[in-house]
Amino acid sequence: MSRENFAAQIARKIPTLWQAHPFREGNTRTIVILMTFFIEHYGFHFDKDLLAVSAGYVRNAFVMASFGEYSEFEHLENILLDAICTEPIEYKDDLEQEESIHGAKYQTKDYTPVAHEYRDDNGEDKKQ
């Protein structure tokens, strides 16, 4: 299948999964990762950074592709055509730049889980 036909098929099938929205937060990000695995499984390369910097456009494209008989797939298809490549994509290692931008957002120590509190059937607070 050509890259163009492949992008057109994905633009028509993936919005159905996106509509299921099993997560409270992160449905579009989850679908982008799923598309990445799917696209790379079929021998293409996928520029997920393009979709990350265009997150608002991608979400709106999913919305436009989800109107049933009034769906407009061309928005999603256009960005998929730009993101699906036949040649490998080179990503530069900018981890140092990210750390300087985000600063303390990322933990530098090992993660230690903390016990959660919950209430039992009698309404009393307990620790797990």
Residue 44 in any domain: the answer is: yes
- What is the number of structural domains in the chain? 1
Contact 44, 84 (CB under 8 A): yes
Does residue 103 carry a pLDDT above 70? no
Q: Is the pTM of this model over 0.85?
A: no
Of 3, 18, 2, which is closest to residue 83 (Cα–Cα)?
3
DSSP 101-126: HHGGGS--SPP---PPEEE-TTS-EE
Q: Which two tokens stand for residue 127?
A: 């620790």
Q: Is residue 113 part of a domain?
A: no
Domain that holds residue 33: 3-92
What tokens appear for 38 in the block? 């799917």
**pLDDT tens digit sequence for 79-101:** 999 999 988 877 665 555 444 44
